[in-house]
């Protein structure tokens, strides 16, 4: 095994992952980027997927079954080509060809030569919760305000045991806590078309909030009309499971949260611009009755999969009650399009047309839905842009605000009853 120069272990694309490893294995002798196999006796070794030049995740080097299982995670956003690539790589890892297929490694060295892994690292903490020794995979996702470590825990035979989210910043901890509360709320209902992770544990570890939840086993995905019908039925069931009644838009908890959130924007210019658009929307639609229910809040292809006739849905940190029914469908359509075409005013408008086809017709129900959604998503991005890591979404937040201002200024009457 060849260890790289120390400077290489803290610079470049690997820096965020290596820093996260150091935080989660605080009693180790440090994390080193290396190439080849072998490792230090007693150390924890990860394979870098796909490489140190473009790292996406770290998977356990041992056992081989855990490395293979780490890649058998699928969502509705994964293409047939990527599915095939994952299947081939997973099969190679199961055959213990990891050193050849994924030569870049991260070694978490023991604190002393020949020493054992630290008793206070994240693996030991999770082992205590799950009642057995575990190995883990690790990803932290793209730079954003709520970026957080996400782990999958495996038993000694490489079988998935749990998914884990670590709130390692104030923003991330808030989101992790909200997701834990959402899972508690969702556990009260039995869904016919929806599969939701079960809450195993939420607690504090080294001043971080750690959420442990059950694994939703996924498989290669299929799209088409059947998937669209199932997705629609599942979202309708979710909303109907938490009915808040029929009431004017301006009396919903959703609208009250927008009003409150607007006042928390730190930039006075952006606060004034958003509040003006919100007021315009309120004057046009505030007195219109809506059916209020629940929404997932981040319903996208990469947060869902289909298995055994149910829509599996994860990442519940945006779950909210008392919102106009139908917002999830708009979010899904808009974000699917933005991911392919990029965030522009034209793409956002096209996404609104896809999710609420009649939104440009004065007096239509889709007009209310699209305007309400725009207010919500614009505030989300504006607030996120003001937080840590907000530079990554600042441009997108301004695009959303521009579209909201344009749509809110359009003439049109209230929704026809």
Q: What is the CATH number of the domain that holds 231?
A: 3.90.1200
- Chain segment 325-339, per-residue pLDDT in tens: 999 999 999 999 999
Q: DSSP character for 410?
A: S
Query: Domain boundary at 192, 213, 234, which?
Result: 213
Is the pLDDT at 11 greater than 80? The verdict is no
Query: Domain boundary at 158, 186, 213, which?
Result: 213
Do 198 and 337 lie in one domain? The reply is no
pTM of the full predicted structure?
0.91
Do 379 and 293 lie in one domain? The reply is yes
SS (H, E, C) 100-127: HHCCEEEEECCCCCCCCCCCCCHHHHHH
- Chain segment 173-205, per-residue pLDDT in tens: 999 999 999 999 999 989 999 999 999 999 999
Residue at 116 is within a domain: yes
Residue at 382 is within a domain: yes
Query: Domain boundary at 213, 238, 267, which?
Result: 213
Structure tokens at 97: 């060809």
In 53-198, where do the E strands start and end? 57-60, 104-108, 135-139, 150-154, 160-167, 194-195
Nearest alpha-carbon partner for 123 in 110, 112, 113, 114? 110
Beta strands 194-195 and 310-313, pairing class? parallel
Structure tokens at 178: 């909200």
In the chain, the number of structural domains is: 2
Residue at 414 is within a domain: no
Residue at 358 is within a domain: yes
Q: Count CB neighbours of 181 within 10 A.
A: 15
At 4, the pLDDT band (50, 70, 90 cuts) reads: very low
The pLDDT of residue 9 is: 44
Do 21 and 154 lie in one domain? The reply is yes
The pLDDT of residue 6 is: 38
Do 379 and 286 lie in one domain? The reply is yes
Indicate the range of 176-180, 279-283, 305-309, 313-317 predicted with least confidence. Answer: 305-309
Nearest alpha-carbon partner for 151 in 72, 74, 211? 211
Mean per-residue pLDDT of the chain: 90
Distance CA 246, CA 289 (A): 6
The pLDDT of residue 120 is: 81
Indicate the range of 26-40, 97-111, 117-131, 166-180 predicted with least confidence. Answer: 26-40
Indicate the range of 135-149, 274-288, 350-364 predicted with least confidence. Answer: 135-149
- Chain segment 348-370, per-residue pLDDT in tens: 999 999 999 999 998 899 999 99
Task: Please state, in angstroms and as integers, the Cα–Cα distance from residue 109 to each residue in 61, 133, 166, 284, 417, following that order.
Answer: 14, 18, 22, 62, 67
Residue at 283 is within a domain: yes
Do 282 and 241 lie in one domain? The reply is yes
Domain residue limits at 106:
2-213
Structure tokens at 396: 């997108």
């Amino acid at each position: 095994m060849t260890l790289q120069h120390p400077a290489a272990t803290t610079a470049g694309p690997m820096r965020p992952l290596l820093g996260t490893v150091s935080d989660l294995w605080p009693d180790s002798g440090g994390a080193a980027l290396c190439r080849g196999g072998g490792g230090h006796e007693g150390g924890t070794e990860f394979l870098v997927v796909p490489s140190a030049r473009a790292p996406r995740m770290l998977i356990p080097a041992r056992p081989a079954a855990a490395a293979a299982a780490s890649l058998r995670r699928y969502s509705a956003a994964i293409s047939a080509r990527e599915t095939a690539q994952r299947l081939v790589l997973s099969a190679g890892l199961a055959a213990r060809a990891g050193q050849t297929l994924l030569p870049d490694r991260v070694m978490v060295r023991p604190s002393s030569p020949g020493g054992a892994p630290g008793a206070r690292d994240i693996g030991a903490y999770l082992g205590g919760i799950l009642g057995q020794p575990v190995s883990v995979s690790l990803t932290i996702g793209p730079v954003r305000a709520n970026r957080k470590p996400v782990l999958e825990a495996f038993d000694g035979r490489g079988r998935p045991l749990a998914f884990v989210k670590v709130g390692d910043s104030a923003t991330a901890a808030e989101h992790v806590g909200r997701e834990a509360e959402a899972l508690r709320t969702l556990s009260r209902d039995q869904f016919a078309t929806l599969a939701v992770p079960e809450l195993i544990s939420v607690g504090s570890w080294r001043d971080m909030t750690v959420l442990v939840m059950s694994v939703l086993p996924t498989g290669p995905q299929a799209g088409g009309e059947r998937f669209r019908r199932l997705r629609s039925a599942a979202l309708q069931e979710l909303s109907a499971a938490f009915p808040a009644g029929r009431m004017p838009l301006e009396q919903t908890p959703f609208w009250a949260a927008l009003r409150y959130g607007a006042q928390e924007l730190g930039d006075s210019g952006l606060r004034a611009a958003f509040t003006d658009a919100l007021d315009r929307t309120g004057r046009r639609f505030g007195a219109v009755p809506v059916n209020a229910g629940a929404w997932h809040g981040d319903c996208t292809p990469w947060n869902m999969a289909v298995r055994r006739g149910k829509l599996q849905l994860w990442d519940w940190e945006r779950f909210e009650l008392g919102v106009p029914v139908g917002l999830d469908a708009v979010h899904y359509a808009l974000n699917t399009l933005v991911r392919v075409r990029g965030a522009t005013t034209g793409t956002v408008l096209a996404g609104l047309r896809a999710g609420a086809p009649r939104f440009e017709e004065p007096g239509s129900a889709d007009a209310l839905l699209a305007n309400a959604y725009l207010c919500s998503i614009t505030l989300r991005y504006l607030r996120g842009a003001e937080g840590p890591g907000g530079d990554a979404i600042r441009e997108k937040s301004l695009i959303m605000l521009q579209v909201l201002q344009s749509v809110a200024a359009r003439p049109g009457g209230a929704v026809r009853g």
